[in-house]
Amino acid sequence: MLKRLSFLALVLSMAISLPASTTAQDLSTAEGILRAHVEATGGEKAWAAVEDMYAEIQIEAGTPMGPLTLEMKTWSIFPGYGYTEMNLLNGPDGIPAEAVNMKAYYTPLEGWMEQGGQRQDMANVNPQMTQQFMRTSPKQELELLSNEEVTLALKGDSTFDDRAVYVIGVTMAGTESDMMIDKETLMILGQSTSTPMGDVVTRMSGYEEVDGLMFSMGQSAESAQGTQKVTIKKVELNSGLTPGAVATKAGTNKRVMPE
């Protein structure tokens, strides 16, 4: 199940993106193209003004025992605090809910993931999943640009689903990905990621505006393990979420603010 969750983390990490028109920008480097994409989806200042975010996400996945549907809810304060819970809505009789249901919580002081009655320190969780849960920004591309441990490279031009795209290579936490960005609109059309289980190809679709920022509300991912569909049902920004409220949702009474 942890392998499947790693696959889900890759899909969910693509849950934010889109375009619009762009003024004169440097499109000759990977960093320049990513910054142009950020501007096309609302602008760096607007993304930086997001202090907290709540999202409801539905995940449909195939398994050897049959399809299952999951509901995920996330509460995030940027940077530093978050709580995620995932619950099985329906699935095969052979997959008990307790084997799938998951909780993850992090603060500047601690982080853990709980599943199947067992709790793991976030430091011992798959790095890809850790990066997904412990977000420093609501916009993944800003995290890529600010993280000194991430390597970006413009691989050149290509086509993806009959669209001309820039191909940007991303190396992060030992994982290599190719990000496809539409040359005309600067929309992220998809991403191909190499994993120990084989390549995962994610496609972006269904874009909606939330408080002036553009979010991709639907993604599909294909791999040797099958196809998964992720639909973002709801996004709320700057609702006044506090670290104490996040701790309450996680069911912990421990100190949540660093000294």
Identify the bridge partners of residue 166 per DSSP, sorted by sequence position. Answer: 157, 181
- What are the residues whose beta carbons fall under 8 Å from the beta carbon of 232, sequence distance 6 or more? 15, 55, 56, 57, 215, 216, 217, 218
Q: In the predicted model, what is the mean pLDDT of residues 117-145?
A: 79
pLDDT single digits (tens) 164-178:
999 999 998 788 999
- Alpha carbons 161 and 151: distance in angstroms, whole number: 26
Determine the length of the chain.
259
CA distance 73 to 183: 33
**What confidence tens digit (pLDDT) does each residue in 3-60 have?**
444 445 544 554 433 333 444 578 999 999 999 999 999 999 999 999 999 999 999 9
pLDDT-derived band at 223, boundaries 50, 70, 90: confident
Contact 70, 86 (CB under 8 A): yes
**Domain edges within the chain:** 2-147+209-215+224-250
CATH class of 2-147+209-215+224-250: mainly beta
For residue 252, the model assigns a pLDDT of 81
Nearest to 23 by CA among 13, 32, 11: 32
Tell me what pLDDT residue 4 has.
47
Range scoring the smallest mean pLDDT among 4-8, 72-76, 139-143, 189-193 = 4-8
Q: What is the pLDDT of residues 83-120, one digit of tens each?
A: 999 999 998 888 889 888 999 998 888 889 898 888 88
Q: Is the pTM of this model over 0.85?
A: no
